Amino acid sequence: MSILLRAGARVVIFGITGRFGTFSIRDLRASGTEVVAGVVPGRGGTEVEGVPIFGSAEQAVCDTGADCALIYVPAPLALDAVLEAIDADCQLVAYPGDGLPVADAMEMRAAARARGAWLVGPNSPGLISPGKAKLGFMPSFCFRPGPVGLISRSGSLSYEASYRLSCAGVGQSTVIGIGGDPVKGVTAAEAVTMFHEDPETAAIVYLGEIGGTDEYAVADYARRLDAKPVTALLVGRTAPPGKKMGHAAALVGGYADSWAAKVEALAAAGVNVARSLDQLPIAAAESLARAGLAPAA
Amino acid sequence: MLMLEAEGKALLAGSGLPIPAGAHLVSDAAGVAGLSLTFPLAAKAQVRSGGRGKAGGVRRCDGPAEAEAAVAAILGTRFGGELPSGVLLEPWLPIAREMYLSVVVDGRAGGFVALYAPEGGVEIEAGPPPLRYEFGLPRNFRAHEFRRLLETVEADRAVRERVIALTRRLLQVAAAQDCTTVEINPLIRLQDGNLVLGDAKVVRDDAAAFRHLELEAALVSERMREVEDVRRCQDASLMLVWLEGEVGLISGGAGMTMAAMDAIAAAGGAPACFLDTSGNPTPAGFGLAFELLDRNPGVRAILVSMFGGGLHTDRVARTLVGILEARGPGAKPVVLRLQGTGSEAATEILAAAGRVNHASLEEAVAEVVARTRAPEARA
């Protein structure tokens, strides 16, 4: 199965005529994802790369049956675009942009949940169910289909970590970039629950960092008696306190934000914490073995 | 952006919140003479670093001469490395009790939480964790829910009701002004029963500057206060944080940059910086990165580690060859690792320029740490 994003997803792209939008038409198609519509207010009736453009999400969904939205608009316009996609009944909406006001992230998250839809982002590369579909801009060559559900706060780390896992024969059911901001759509807590319920996911890999509380939610899950095996890698061991490391949420304020506190909490909950990036595929393979699976050739 | 106490209080006072009456902000000791002050008063250092109270940044003054001396002393003292930009003079309050109250954005709540502790003040960290009321969106705040929780920790009914009303007002300011933290510590109960904000720590969301002109202006002046290197990086869409080590790291993406920093430490070295070039992986961006690392005397060797996802590492390789050739002989050693999209071409481009493209992060890290120790690193 995979989580959230399935084969046959029909994608509508907001801001489809921009640089990212046009790139994504080709990139998503190359990954086997159907881009069925674009939304650009006032430009309905035109098309780009063979994709019809609509003036509103409602029209796009009505005419094409789009069910997933990928939103490439600047932060000041993002809240309205995401609300429009949700109101048009898109069940999955990815907003990859960064620099979004946290108040707008709260509104987006609440609006999605009120309609039973899921938001992915902000500040995330999106998600991919390898071999099935992609909603975002992560580089497809890093991924291969398999039994590991991967959750990452960082885009760049998810690419390289997935690439290393793929090379080691550890494929992925879905890789979701939950994003580097404090308030977001799908959280680590929600993602682990989805992977828990997904019959095609046998083990979970979590890529975390300093700051925020997502790691503690992962530890809470791992303590469940019926939890699937969890492997984790945390970055930011060498980050000094009080300095933001790129991501809005990657900041050590108190002890609970620190690398040491999080590693301790995860390890105590039974998570297999990899000591470094090169140890991650080994640790993930161990987890799979515990779930009765061997890495693919 | 963390506001100074005086700025935060001014913002809150503008929405009718109770700050101490009759306060003055001075930026030099001579400025004290012309003010009509009532004594005793508190002279409070205006700094962003915490722990000012314990470091002598809050002084009681019983007369004008004492106030002048206190202002001069505070302005000449660094608190957490930071010189105060001013001194806030406030009436010394007849305190009956000190509590703690804050309204902060919290990822777990998907929005705001209110935190309350019946005993506030400088020792707040030492006490039990404050009461936590999660409600997320500002419009989901319910006085009756908060009251039910408060009843478990706050015995004084009048205080409870005043705290609830105050929280509602703080939340309205936080929502309207895009604040991610409004922390009142201490929240003071005066001898007459009224509550007043003893201190205010207000953090505004930089990302919301597009809808607050005064925040935009404050960010511009904050940027001017940054050290020049950091400011130039911000202008060029690079993220730079200087650290203490000797390995100059040029990387891409916040997560991978931290992963590379950790790998350097695991190999026995220490990173000299967090430097994320993913916002501007161009000749201008890499050129600035090399300029800053070459000039920093603490940097003894440089590691460029990029994993190409959307980024084409062959283009990066061509850019790097141009930069490296322009640096000339005797420059600091550079270790390269370009992997991912276009990396085979990148390896060829680098080889043609007599450079090695390391196949893995770990191998490149081992090499650069060794180079910081080799005698030629000093050449």
Give the domain ranges of chain A: 10-120, 138-290
Whether residues B205 and A244 touch (CB distance < 8 A) is answered with: no
B13 lies in the same domain as B148 = yes
User: Is residue B379 a part of any domain in this protein?
Assistant: no
B209 lies in the same domain as B313 = no
pLDDT tens per residue, range B13-63: 999 999 999 899 999 998 898 899 999 999 999 998 878 888 899 999 999
Full residue range of the structural domain in which residue B56 is found: 21-92
* Alpha-carbon distances, residue B274 vs A175, A216, A223 (angstroms): 26, 25, 34
How many domains does chain B fold into?
3
Closest residue in B to A215 (Cα) is: B108
Q: Which two tokens stand for residue B196?
A: 């007043």
- Asked if the C-beta of B110 comes within 8 angstroms of chain A's C-beta atoms, the answer is yes
pLDDT value of residue B52: 87
B4 lies in the same domain as B138 = yes
Q: Are strands A230-235 and A203-209 parallel, antiparallel or unpaired?
A: parallel
**Residues of chain B with C-beta less than 8 angstroms from the C-beta of A237:** 261-262, 265
B370 lies in the same domain as B271 = yes
Closest approach of B246 to chain A, Cα-based (Å): 13
B242 lies in the same domain as B259 = yes
B11 lies in the same domain as B41 = no
**Residues of chain A with C-beta less than 8 angstroms from the C-beta of B266:** 275-276
Whether residues A110 and B111 touch (CB distance < 8 A) is answered with: yes
Whether residues B258 and A153 touch (CB distance < 8 A) is answered with: no
Closest residue in B to A254 (Cα) is: B125
| Residue type for position A118 | W
Instruction: Of A181, A160, A237, give the one whose Cα is nearest residue B243.
Output: A237
Residue A196 known to be catalytic: no
Domain boundary among B168, B202, B225: B225
Q: Is B75 helix (H, G, I), strand (E, B) or coil?
A: helix
Average pLDDT (A178-191) is: 95
| Residue type for position A189 | A
- Asked if the C-beta of B136 comes within 8 angstroms of chain A's C-beta atoms, the answer is yes
Average pLDDT (B155-167) is: 97
Q: Which two tokens stand for residue A94?
A: 């990815």
pLDDT value of residue B376: 55
Average pLDDT (A169-176) is: 97
**Cα separation of A178 and B355, whole Å?**
37
What percent of chain B has a predicted confidence (pLDDT) above 70? 99
| Record: fold of A138-290 | Rossmann fold (3.40.50)
- Asked if the C-beta of B268 comes within 8 angstroms of chain A's C-beta atoms, the answer is no
Partners of B82 in the β-ladder:
B79
Q: At what angle do helices B283-295 and B313-327 cross, to 10 degrees?
A: 40
B318 lies in the same domain as B173 = no
Q: Count other Cβ atoms within 10 Å, centred on residue B21.
A: 10
User: Which member of A109, A132, A228, A247 is catalytic?
Assistant: A247
- ipTM for the predicted complex comes to 0.92
Measured in Å, how far apart are chain A's first and last C-alpha atoms? 21
Q: Which of B171, B172, B215, B262 should one mutate to test binding to chain A, selecting the residue with the greatest count of A CBs within 10 A?
A: B262
pLDDT value of residue B375: 66
B199 lies in the same domain as B261 = no
Average pLDDT (B67-85) is: 92
Q: Are strands A126-129 and A172-177 parallel, antiparallel or unpaired?
A: antiparallel
Burial of B156 (0-12, 13-18, 19+ CB in 10 A): middle
Which residues neighbour B330 within 8 Å (Cβ) at sequence distance 6 or greater?
B379
**Residues of chain B with C-beta less than 8 angstroms from the C-beta of A31:** none
Which residues neighbour B180 within 8 Å (Cβ) at sequence distance 6 or greater?
A102, A182, B104, B105, B174, B203, B204, B205
**Residues of chain A with C-beta less than 8 angstroms from the C-beta of B262:** 235-238, 276
Instruction: Of A130, A38, A76, give the one whose Cα is nearest residue B209.
Output: A76
**Cα separation of A11 and A68, whole Å?**
5
Average pLDDT (A70-86) is: 97
User: Is residue B311 a part of any domain in this protein?
Assistant: yes
Domain boundary among B191, B209, B225: B225
**Residues of chain A with C-beta less than 8 angstroms from the C-beta of B207:** 75, 99-102, 248
- C-beta of residue A218 within 8 angstroms of C-beta of residue A208: yes
Q: Count each helix (H run) and each strand (E run) in chain B, helices first.
A: 11, 15
Query: What proportions of chain B, in percent to the nearest 5, are helix, strand and coil?
Result: 40, 25, 35
Which residues neighbour A39 within 8 Å (Cβ) at sequence distance 6 or greater?
A12, A13, A14, A15, A16, A53, A54, A55, A56, A57, A60, A81, A84
- C-beta of residue B200 within 8 angstroms of C-beta of residue B183: yes
Whether residues A101 and B208 touch (CB distance < 8 A) is answered with: yes
**Residues of chain B with C-beta less than 8 angstroms from the C-beta of A99:** 207
- Asked if the C-beta of B156 comes within 8 angstroms of chain A's C-beta atoms, the answer is no
Longest alpha-carbon distance in chain A: 57
Measured in Å, how far apart are chain B's first and last C-alpha atoms? 42
Burial of B378 (0-12, 13-18, 19+ CB in 10 A): exposed
Instruction: Of B53, B4, B52, B59, give the one whose Cα is nearest residue B32.
Output: B59
What percent of chain B has a predicted confidence (pLDDT) above 90? 84
User: Is residue B119 a part of any domain in this protein?
Assistant: yes
pLDDT value of residue A41: 94
**Cα separation of A120 and A105, whole Å?**
11
Of the partner residues A160, A247, A278, the one whose CB lies closest to the CB of residue B254: A247
**Residues of chain B with C-beta less than 8 angstroms from the C-beta of A153:** 255
Reported as a pLDDT band with limits 50, 70 and 90, residue B226 is confident
pLDDT value of residue A146: 96
**Cα separation of B379 and B374, whole Å?**
10
Q: Is B348 helix (H, G, I), strand (E, B) or coil?
A: helix
Longest alpha-carbon distance in chain B: 81
B234 lies in the same domain as B212 = no
B141 lies in the same domain as B179 = yes
Whether residues A245 and B257 touch (CB distance < 8 A) is answered with: yes
Q: At what angle do helices A102-114 and A75-87 cross, to 10 degrees?
A: 0
Average pLDDT (A87-115) is: 96
Closest approach of B256 to chain A, Cα-based (Å): 5
Say yes or no to pLDDT of B339 above 80.
yes
- Asked, colleague to colleague, whether A10-120 and A138-290 share their fold, the answer is yes
Whether residues B259 and A160 touch (CB distance < 8 A) is answered with: yes
Of the partner residues A103, A244, A247, the one whose CB lies closest to the CB of residue B175: A103
Closest approach of B71 to chain A, Cα-based (Å): 28
| Torsion sign across C-alpha atoms B21, B131, B133, A103 | positive
- Asked if the C-beta of B213 comes within 8 angstroms of chain A's C-beta atoms, the answer is no
- C-beta of residue B47 within 8 angstroms of C-beta of residue B56: no
Whether residues A76 and B211 touch (CB distance < 8 A) is answered with: yes
Q: Which two tokens stand for residue B356?
A: 């090695």
**CATH code assigned at B42:** 3.30.1490.20
Whether residues B255 and A107 touch (CB distance < 8 A) is answered with: no
The CATH architecture to which A10-120 belongs is 3-Layer(aba) Sandwich (3.40)
| Torsion sign across C-alpha atoms B22, B28, B29, B32 | negative
Whether residues A106 and B257 touch (CB distance < 8 A) is answered with: no
Whether residues B255 and A153 touch (CB distance < 8 A) is answered with: yes
Residue with token string 């959230």: A4
* Alpha-carbon distances, residue B247 vs A284, B169, B212, B372 (angstroms): 30, 49, 40, 7
Whether residues A213 and B175 touch (CB distance < 8 A) is answered with: no
Q: Count other Cβ atoms within 10 Å, centred on residue B28.
A: 12
**Residues of chain B with C-beta less than 8 angstroms from the C-beta of A103:** 175, 178, 205, 208
Residue with token string 């009456």: B21
Instruction: Of A285, A183, A29, A209, give the one whose Cα is nearest residue B136.
Output: A183
pLDDT tens per residue, range B96-145: 999 999 999 998 899 999 999 999 987 787 888 999 999 999 999 999 99
pLDDT value of residue A253: 79
Say yes or no to pLDDT of B379 above 50.
no
B138 lies in the same domain as B198 = yes
B157 lies in the same domain as B40 = no
**Residues of chain B with C-beta less than 8 angstroms from the C-beta of A250:** 254, 258
Q: Are strands B247-251 and B301-308 parallel, antiparallel or unpaired?
A: parallel
Hey, which residues 158-177 in chain B have their CB within 8 Å of chain A? Answer: 175
Instruction: Determine phi and psi for A127, rounding to 5 degrees.
Output: -145, 160
Domain boundary among B172, B192, B225: B225
| Residue type for position B17 | L
